[in-house]
Amino acid sequence: MKKIIPLTTLLLLVLTSVFAQKNLTLLSPNGEIKVSIIIGDKINYSVNYRTEALMTENSLSLVLKDETLGKNPKLLSAKTTKSSSIIKPYIALKYANVESKYNQLLLNFKGGFAVAFRAFDNGIAYQFITNKKGDIEVMDEEVAINFPNAYNLHVQQPGSFKTAYEENYSTVSTDSWKEKMSTLPILIDTKKNYKLLLSESDLSDYPCLFFKGTGVNAIRSVFPKAPLAFGEDGDRSLKITKEADYIAKTSGTRTFPWRYFVITNDDKQILENTMTLQLASKSKIENPSWIKPGQASWEWWNDAAPYGPDVNFVSGYNLQTYKYYIDFAAKYGLKYIIMDEGWAKSTTDPYTPNPDVDVHELIRYGKEKNVGIVLWLTWLTVHNHMDLFKTFKEWGIKGVKIDFMDRSDQWMVNYYERVAVEAAKNELFVDFHGAFKPAGLEYKYPNILSYEGVRGMEQMGGTLPKNSLYLPFMRNAVGPMDYTPGAMISMQPESYRAERPNAASIGTRAYQMALFVVFESGIQMLADNPTLYYRNPDCTAFITSVPTTWDETKALTATVGEVAVVAKRKADKWFIGGICNGTEKTRNLKINLDFLEKGKQYTMTYFEDGINAGRQAMDYRKKTIQVKNGDEIAVNMVRNGGYAAVITAK
């Protein structure tokens, strides 16, 4: 027998539900971005940019062992605040002074938790905040994003959570994507001239966020489980033998990572964004003056194989070869050389140098030449010998390159921070390879100069400009990126034939030179052989003059995945870098020099693709002209080509 509900009771239930629902609105400072938050049986939010609905009824929750924060939430208070400040990052990848201006809505809920939303003029972000006693087990976090129409997503899809973030980018449609998952960042193209860059910041004691598609215009978060036990897996890693049923066991009183979206209808704004920095924790290093960003000569890519009339020794991983690299670095003002695998007698013992190399003599020689030594290590060796930072400081080492983490679960995220802390105690910088993407730790500990986490040039013929043209808009847009540029042997893809020691890159010579301006890293490697740099003195002089930190960045031309041209200033000198993919035979662009100071005359020296660079990628032209504010200049790039320039006041 069916139970009949009286009409008055039914109306009462409906009215109770309606009145229980809370609708709140948060606007960006300029009023163009609107976040509409609906609190009912869940916490939902929608995002509009001007009149365009970009995301609809996204939902968020934090699933703990015994409760779900965000399920039937009871709102206690809602407070809106405004903030405007200037951030001065010690490692200034884009700007020496970053304006951070936003409106915040802090929602406090019954049950000891809150959610903070922030709206900037170029995006939005939110984070969970908990106030629970003791530790909590986070079983899952719901980051559910719903799109009103079929969008294109530019994604990087690993086969599992064990990944070094080096897969090629692919493009999927939200109405069909269900296979595999994606790392962050994800670039969302609404197909209506709007783009959203999705990533995270202030990641600490928590796993990295991944996403999967649902096939119905929505994506959902997935996380690696917390590892509990490990087994042997060679000399440079461990395999996980037991996982927890939770993704994180952490303090009950804390802030959680920010989930953010950069939102724009102009691709140039993605190149200029600083959202990871704006949401990161403040630096824990009180006096960072010992941290010295800069360029480094690197031997691995060219297999430590200098040659020629000035190389009167057997080259290789030995003392004389490394002294040759130090001499090269000293000649061109490079701060460092990086000594990759082979400097130690074994990969598992960081205290016993290879006798053929004699690290201590190289440290002495480098100090004499004002060139610092950076040593490569596996993460496992560092984990097993965390006291090595103290030893390396005593030796006189300046930094470490740590490799093969290839994971981003809570344990490994915490490992990054432990390394940063121990390195900072001993005034060593860190370059993470085999790494996940930056997520704010590099600002909390600015001795982290860079991360790999990219399909970089060490992939040789597998590094195509058609993939690398997404990097300024995705991977490098969220933080420093150790791509290892600087090839002096350049080829177009159909003619690529190369391997170490005669390593080569795809793209033109001007393309390679431009990468030093376009790509951002606190430590920027010169990957090629000193012999080839000596044979190309004009190119080498330009490359080694490019700073690794900047006072100002101005995007000049940008189309995601196709072309990027930027101007960057250090003191009173401007550099321009432009790169393009291979979809067109030649790109003929015009750029305006309106960023130059009015009333001054400037000398501009530039490198452009030569007339035959579309087939013979080594072809380039170097020219010098006089310019001033407001001048319009031509930037012509062949397929997979580039453009590089330096502008100095007369």
Residue with tokens 């390593």: 503
Kindly give the interhelix angle for 388-395 and 359-369, rounded to the nearest 10 degrees: 50
Burial class (CB in 10 A: 0-12, 13-18, 19+), 310: exposed
Q: How far is CA 144 from the centre of its chain?
A: 23
Burial class (CB in 10 A: 0-12, 13-18, 19+), 383: middle
- Which residue is catalytic, options 406, 458, 528, 562? 458
pTM of the model: 0.96
Integer-rounded Cα Rg, in Å, for the chain is: 26
| Phi/psi at 38 (5° precision) | -120, 120
Residue 458 appears among annotated catalytic residues: yes
Cα separation of 405 and 418, whole Å?
13
Contact 228, 238 (CB under 8 A): no
| pLDDT at res. 20 | 62
The closest alpha carbon to 267, from 197, 218, 201, belongs to 197
Cα separation of 127 and 125, whole Å?
7
Contacts of 69 (CB under 8 A, 6+ apart): 61, 62, 63, 109, 111, 113, 128, 130
pLDDT means over runs of 10, the chain (650 residues): 44 43 96 98 97 97 97 98 98 98 98 98 98 98 98 98 98 96 98 96 98 98 98 96 98 98 98 98 97 98 97 97 98 98 97 96 98 98 98 98 98 98 98 98 98 97 97 98 98 96 98 98 98 98 98 98 98 98 95 97 98 98 98 98 97
Three-point CA angle 552, 558, 559, nearest 5°: 155
Contact 514, 644 (CB under 8 A): yes
Cα separation of 207 and 379, whole Å?
18
Q: State the distance between the two ends of the chain, measured CA to CA, in whole angstroms.
A: 94
- Which residue is catalytic, options 166, 403, 427, 431? 403
| pLDDT at res. 188 | 98
| Phi/psi at 167 (5° precision) | -70, 150
Residue with tokens 């709140």: 24
Contact 445, 424 (CB under 8 A): yes
Where are the strands (E) in 65-122, listed by range?
68-69, 75-87, 98-109, 113-120
| pLDDT at res. 3 | 45
